[in-house]
Structure formats: structure tokens, C-alpha cells
Amino acid sequence: MRTIDFPPELRSFLHRTSKLAALTGAGVSQESGLRTFRDAQQGLWAQYKPEDLASPEAFARDPKLIWDWYTWRREAIKGVRPNPGHYALVEIEKQIPEFTLITQNVDGLHRMAGSQNVFELHGNIQLVRCSECGEFADEWDDDLESVPQCKACGGLLRPDVVWFGESLPLDQLEGAVEAARTCDVFFSVGTSGVVQPAASLAHAARNNGAVVVEINAELTSLTEKADFFFHGKSGEILPELVKALWS
Ligand code: OAD
């Protein structure tokens, strides 16, 4: 594996920072074997764009189709483990006095790895709630001909994730915005930065004087505005960063 050259200014910022916020996207889970959001559709589902399935309109039109898509995605996550990128973020949290992890991922892998201060902007695919009364369901039958129903009110169950056109959970969003506005270093890792409001967090941090560090396998719209850009896999770059700075 090549050794990454972390510039002395970055080392100095990271050694001095007391407040770091990190935004992650689907790229961080790619090395756990999960396909990224925009590259996810396979088999039966290849004919659909995820954007056309992850919406309240799609659920209203064909709830069983959407339920089955999430069941398929939940199955794909079963047995998936965090990768070295997730664990490196846990290590960084131990080194920085105030560390906030903001994720767009619904796979729960950051918490599984051991990250503590986590805001999940887009929900968690493992949780299921009623589309009518909001009551969470602990168990449901996936083998029915139709979408399972809420035991409390009979409404259709749905995944506890944010769909296009829906608001983000306010407590998670407020926590993320506060962390981005007040941090001295902001990491953007494995996200294409095309979905708002998550994409605006790096800019909010930058406008408030934070040093912005991007790690991505490709260039994004943030790249030229970032103070530091590391081109490659987060599961390789983050552990190297931890090793170079804190071991
Ligand atoms: P995307 O699928 O849009 O982007 C994944 C990003 O990860 C891309 O920029 C890739 O270049 C990068 N990438 C892939 N593998 C990587 C690796 N091993 N290391 C580092 N980077 C890697 O996923 P998100 O940006 O997470 O929202 O998408 C954001 C949101 O868009 C999702 O949460 C979802 C979708 O709309 C909802 O469902 C509400």
C-alpha cells in the first residue's frame, strides 16, 4: 500500500483542534461490501432508479414494491461489518475533545463500529415504524402478500428512513448544523455531496472558518473548495491518518 503524505499544516491543525465534525456518505460503507447509493441497484431492481423508489409518492403508489425494495436492502446489509474506515473514525473520536459524526448512511455501521456521538441524518434502515401513527414496530412478517400493518392502528409499516421530499429528523439536523458551524476542522468522507441539506454542511463549516478536509474516491463539487483533498478509499486513508498522527 502506498504511504500517504499528510502535509505538516494538516498535522498541525489536527493536533491543535478541539472540535472536529465529520460528514460521511455511502462511500465509507463501500469497503464493507455495500454498494453506494447511486450504484446500488442490481438484479430485479436494476430497472428502477433509487430516487424513484425512495419517496412518499412511490410508497403511496405501490407500497408493496417499496417495502420489498427495503427488505432486499436490509437483507443485503445482514452480516455486513464495519471496515477500517469506520474504526479509524472511532479512533479519531477518542483523540479529539469534541467530535461529531454526521452520517447520511442508514446502515448503522458507525454505531456498530463504536462511534458514540453520531447524528443519523437519513434515519436507520433497521428501524420500522407506522406510516400513519409513527409507532415503532419490533417485529413484522416479511412473507405477507401485502405490506405488514401497525399493531396499534393498522397503518402500513415503512422503514424509518428519510425519503426524497421529506424533512430530516429535526434533532439530528440541528445537531449536525451546530457541529458544522462551530467546528475548527470538518471532514467530508465518501459522499458525492449532491443531496441537501447534508451537502451544505461543509460550506457552512468553511464559511465559519473551519479547515475542510475531503476524502473521496472521486473528485466532487467540494474538492476545489476543500483545503485538503485525499483521493482514494476512506478505508485506507483514514487508518493511515490515524497512524500518522496518533500512534
Ligand atoms: P453517493 O452514492 O451519492 O456517493 C458516494 C460517494 O462515495 C461518491 O462520491 C464516491 O466517489 C465515493 N466513494 C465510493 N467508494 C469510496 C471509498 N471506498 N472511499 C471513499 N469514497 C468512496 O452517496 P451519498 O453521498 O451518501 O439519501 O448520497 C447521499 C444521499 O443521497 C444518500 O444518503 C441518499 C441519497 O439520496 C437518501 O436516501 C435520503
What is the per-residue DSSP string for the chain? -PPP---HHHHHHHHH-SEEEEEE-THHHHTTTPPPGGG---GGGGGS-HHHHSSHHHHHH-HHHHHHHHHHHHHHHTT----HHHHHHHHHHHHSSEEEEEE---S-HHHHHT--SEEETTEEEEEEEETTT--EES---TTSSS--B-TTT-PBEEEEEPPTTSPPPHHHHHHHHHHHHH-SEEEEES----STTTTHHHHHHHHTT-EEEEEESS--TTGGG-SEEEES-HHHHHHHHHHHHH-
Q: Which portions of the chain are predicted below pLDDT 50?
A: none
| Cis-peptide into 197, omega within 30 deg | yes
The angle, 0 to 180 degrees and rounded to 10, between the axes of the packed helices 200-207 and 170-182 is 40
Q: Which of 34, 163, 195, 214 to mutate to test the pocket of ligand 1 (most atoms within 8 A of CB)?
A: 195
Q: Is 17 in the pocket of ligand 1 (CB under 6 A)?
A: no
Q: Residue 77 class from Cβ within 10 Å (0-12 exposed, 13-18 middle, 19+ buried)? A: middle
For residue 129, which of 118, 140, 120, 121 has the smallest C-alpha distance?
Answer: 140
Q: Is 32 in the pocket of ligand 1 (CB under 6 A)?
A: no
Cell numbers at 231, concatenated: 483521493
Distances (CA, A) of 122 to 105, 172, 193: 7, 9, 14
Position 109 scores a pLDDT of: 97
pTM: 0.93
Q: Is 233 in the pocket of ligand 1 (CB under 6 A)?
A: yes
| Strand duo 123-130 + 136-137: pairing | antiparallel
Question: 155 pairs with which residues across the strands?
Answer: none
Position 239 scores a pLDDT of: 98
Is 122 labeled as catalytic in the residue annotation? yes
Q: Is 234 in the pocket of ligand 1 (CB under 6 A)?
A: yes
Q: How many CB atoms sit inside 10 A of residue 176's CB?
A: 25
Protein residue closest via CA to atom 6 of ligand 1: 191
